[in-house]
Structure 1
Amino acid sequence: MECTVCRKPASYICRCRRPAAYFCHRDLEVHKKLYDYPIHKDSSYPILASQESKNILLEHIKKLCEACQNQIETLNLKTVELTEYLANNLHELLENLAKCCDQKVAKLDGFIQDMKYLSDYIKEINTIDVKDFYTPLENALLKVGNAEKFVSKLEGPSIIYPKLQTNNLFKMIPSNVYHLIGNYNFSVHLSNSCIQYMHPGEEIKTIPCEYLSDTSRALRVGENSIIITGGDNIPQCALLFNLKKKFIDNLSLLEKPRKNHAMAWIGNKPAVLGGENPNHYKHGHDAYKSVEIFESNRWVYFNSMCKARNKLTACNYLDKVYVVGGVDNRNQHVNGIEVLEGDTWREVFVEFPYHLNVAIPVVFLHSNLVLLLGNKGGIIFFDLPNSSSSSTIESGTNALSFKELLNENSHNHAFIKKGVYTLLNKESGLTDKYGVFF
């Protein structure tokens, strides 16, 4: 290929535009300053995953497991201390204390097993296809600098110990590994007039964008980049938006116009799931079960879900995708959860305590699917390891504060910091904070 600037033989490729830009070594630095896009050697072969990056991630996972093992030992010692104290003061709590310890040890053991699976998963990644967008894990494996920045954010679970002379049992702050492996860590909210976004520890930023609607959906595909799809105003459009540079690029059109859908990563590619026909008011509700993924610069159909779902929510962890709630063609609540493993969808039947007929914030946390229900009644933990056909649901109120849950807020993405998820509220400047503890 020829350099886009000087027409000499090109050595590098950048997908800052459609079609991709090619350029020679001389124009490399100038191009880097102008555009905030990953630049690759021009090659028809996949990119080699950086072995040094893999080593950094694997070493950090090993340290997380060692720290987790140390916490198991400390937890057992603390339990002995508490047991001796309670034996003389609160005999009726002894059984609960031992049960609490067993539960926490099981969670910590489960984390170690999950990290072993994650390590094996990373070891198998030797090449990464050249493409438009990369998952957080893929991005970390592209070069050492990315890996170092990535692992600096990963935290294992930790136990909160009470003072010995209190009646409070210890709690565990969950790890953020499950969340950060599949999610760039900032929160986004789309409305009819603007995009609001916020990175941890920073103020909410607002970008006017009049043609969007609250029925559009967004997926974070970089540290400052999102893909926005569908909605009432742009039902078949897909836009790549650089929040930092306020730069918009048009992607290819969706195969099917849709709104109130969901977005997630499928096979490490951006995907849209379900939703409904934006013209449903003309011919009744028209919920979709179709799925599209973005590959080779265009949207293509993927295997459809088991059920048509509108106003659904989706999240993913490694090679699995979880779809929750929504309504069908009759505008009736769709019970249960669907799980994508490989190319196959399967249903997990469960009776939720509330009708999830509006999209709600959902995150993946410590082998659990966590539903944040706001004023609907607290936090629901869906126990995924035991969910082959059915599951029990534990409902709690471990929230720092509950404000109005936004019906149109499904595209809000939660981020976690020290066990706290923060979601942008539709009222500018306000956030909802959820403290999640086991």
Structure 2
Amino acid sequence: MICSSCQDPAEYSCDCTSNTSYMCSKHLGNHYRLNNKHEINVIGPKKFLFNSEMKVKLLNKIRSLKTQAKLDISKAISHANDLFIKMSGELKRANNYIKGFIKSCDDAIDYIKNLNDEIEEKEFYCPLESLLIMQEPEILDQIYGPNINLYAINNKTIQCDISNFPHCIFQYTFNSIAFSSQNELACNNGITKTKMHTDFNWVGRLLSVGKALAIYTGGDPASNSAYIINLELKSINSLSSMQQKRKWHAMTWIDGFPAVLGGYDGEEFLNVVEVYKNGNWERYPSLTSIKSSLSAISYYSKVYAIGGLFNFSPIKYLNSIEKYENGKWELLFFKISSNLPCPGLFASGIYIIIFGGLNENNKGVKDCDIFNDKLMKVWKADFELKEPLSFPSLNTLTSEGKAYCYGYELKEPLSFPSLNTLTSEGKAYCYGYDDSNIYRLVNLQFNF
């Protein structure tokens, strides 16, 4: 308000007239000269009392915001630390795997450089020999290294997909072969699937010995017969008979020759090993113990025989690993994490991945183990199969670091078919069965 006599701020007011008068201190005396009853009021700012309840609420609100801000920053710091630990862990895993892979490359270079530059003619050549003599030059196109995938910060920041090397140079990987029913042979080359009726039984074993060739041994009842199958021509021819009749055995390569290991002859479990040389089966040093339903894999100059069973009543499964090297078998001091027949095996870098198999209730398992060939150590993997499966017929295909196998879930009788492997563009496949012998493809998703 302003003085009614000047433009200075009013300091007083008076209601002596119908309209309130306002005046400053200089003109207050002039107002008193008016012949009216004066009640002079001092003009000042209005004052209001705070609401004490609201004041408390406001203070409490601010305090709660302060407390929440402290919690939020603590969570942010903890989250960042967790991410750092997670990223460090993923980096460490990938780093260890890649270093192991590089070591396996060095091993392969030394191994191949030390090979003789010539080899005597024989009926079947192992994959490495077949590549070097240009019989199967396509093997070179099957070799894939690990694939590193880098992601933004979300659920996973670093993922290392496995390599199919050196698996592909020690096991033929052009075809995945298994029995889709009692006598029907199924073949998958990564492009087409074919089926072939045979007189064979699926408790015998199959081994790929070329791009379109496979050896079948044994049968049900246990047999010493052996055949060579041409998968393209769908023709079958006899090979010379094995010395020992068998079923539920394993097949792999030993010293560059097709080999059969262990099994069951219808009465007893076996430790007998034979290799196919120059048209005949030759007895080789025996396994350290009797077993059937084992799995075996060739790895440089070594062979590993893993798992199996050695008794039916009651059923007794094995968690042992045997190594063949320099002409003899050795039982290793460490074991896989469970007693398993029919586990899947896959060689990647310095690691052999052991996956699936049957537990002592004859049910498939999801568990996976990792065997470090350099440290001679086995530990349980922190990944597992999506479903419980066993892999009596071991055929694996990898592509861009992803692994696939044909597996099956056993619900009724024991059945232990053959071990063969297919890789196509780095993808891994193998045939297996369910209780109806219907094979299906499963993604193993092995990541380091």
- 1:99 paired with 2:106, answer no
- 1:151 paired with 2:140, answer yes
Give the match's secondary structure for 2:96. Answer: helix
- 1:208 paired with 2:197, answer yes
- Measured at CA, do residues 395 and 215 of structure 1 come closer, stay the same or move farther in structure 2, by a change above 3 Å? farther
Q: Is the 8 A contact 2:250 2:419 kept in 1?
A: no
1:303 corresponds to which residue? 285
Instruction: Look up the equivalent residue of 2:429 and give its one-letter code.
Output: T
Aligned length: 339
- Measured at CA, do residues 298 and 200 of structure 1 come closer, stay the same or move farther in structure 2, by a change above 3 Å? same
Gaps of 5+ in 2: 1-75, 358-363, 390-406
Q: CA deviation at 1:160?
A: 1.4
- TM-score with structure 2 setting the length: 0.70
Instruction: Look up the equivalent residue of 1:188 and give its one-letter code.
Output: I
Q: Deviations for 1:386-425, whole angstroms, at most 9, x for unmatched residues?
A: 22xx533325225499674355254143434577532224
- Measured at CA, do residues 140 and 341 of structure 1 come closer, stay the same or move farther in structure 2, by a change above 3 Å? same
Q: CA deviation at 1:349?
A: 3.5
- 1:237 paired with 2:225, answer yes
Q: CA deviation at 1:94?
A: 1.5
Q: Is the 8 A contact 1:136 1:222 kept in 2?
A: yes
1:340 corresponds to which residue? 324
Gaps of 5+ in 1: 1-85, 281-285
Instruction: Look up the equivalent residue of 2:277 and give its one-letter code.
Output: E
Q: Map residues 21-32 of structure 1 onto 2, 5 A cutoff.
A: none
Q: Map residues 130-141 of structure 1 onto 2, 5 A cutoff.
A: 130-141=121-132
Q: Is the 8 A contact 2:105 2:349 kept in 1?
A: no
**Larger Rg: 1 or 2?**
2
1:160 corresponds to which residue? 149
Q: Partners in 2 of 1:379 and 1:415 — Cα distance?
A: 20
RMSD: 2.5
Q: Is the 8 A contact 2:208 2:421 kept in 1?
A: no
Q: Is the 8 A contact 2:261 2:273 kept in 1?
A: yes
Q: Is the 8 A contact 2:293 2:309 kept in 1?
A: yes
Instruction: Look up the equivalent residue of 1:93 and give its one-letter code.
Output: L
Match of 1:197 among 182, 187, 200: 187
Instruction: Look up the equivalent residue of 2:316 and give its one-letter code.
Output: Q
Q: Deviations for 1:29-62, whole angstroms, at most 9, x for unmatched residues?
A: xxxxxxxxxxxxxxxxxxxxxxxxxxxxxxxxxx
Q: Partners in 2 of 1:138 and 1:111 — Cα distance?
A: 22
- 1:260 paired with 2:239, answer no
Give the match's secondary structure for 2:309. Answer: coil
1:225 corresponds to which residue? 213
Q: CA deviation at 1:195?
A: 0.9
- 1:433 paired with 2:424, answer no
Q: Partners in 2 of 1:267 and 1:118 — Cα distance?
A: 16
Instruction: Look up the equivalent residue of 2:379 and give its one-letter code.
Output: T
- Measured at CA, do residues 365 and 346 of structure 1 come closer, stay the same or move farther in structure 2, by a change above 3 Å? same
Q: CA deviation at 1:367?
A: 1.8
Give the match's secondary structure for 1:306. Answer: coil
Structure 1 segments (4+ residues) deviating >6 Å = 400-403
More relative contact order in 1 or in 2 (CA 8 Å, sep 6+)? Answer: 2
Instruction: Look up the equivalent residue of 2:133 and give its one-letter code.
Output: L
Q: CA deviation at 1:87?
A: 7.7
Q: Is the 8 A contact 2:126 2:209 kept in 1?
A: yes
* Percentage of identical aligned residues: 24
User: As a proportion of its length, which structure holds more strand?
Assistant: 2
Give the match's secondary structure for 2:154. Answer: coil
Q: Deviations for 1:285-328, whole angstroms, at most 9, x for unmatched residues?
A: x1111100111210010011111111111111221111011112
- TM-score with structure 1 setting the length: 0.71
- Measured at CA, do residues 221 and 396 of structure 1 come closer, stay the same or move farther in structure 2, by a change above 3 Å? same
* 377-386 vs 241-250, greater mean Cα deviation: 377-386
Give the match's secondary structure for 2:156. Answer: coil
Q: Is the 8 A contact 1:182 1:318 kept in 2?
A: yes
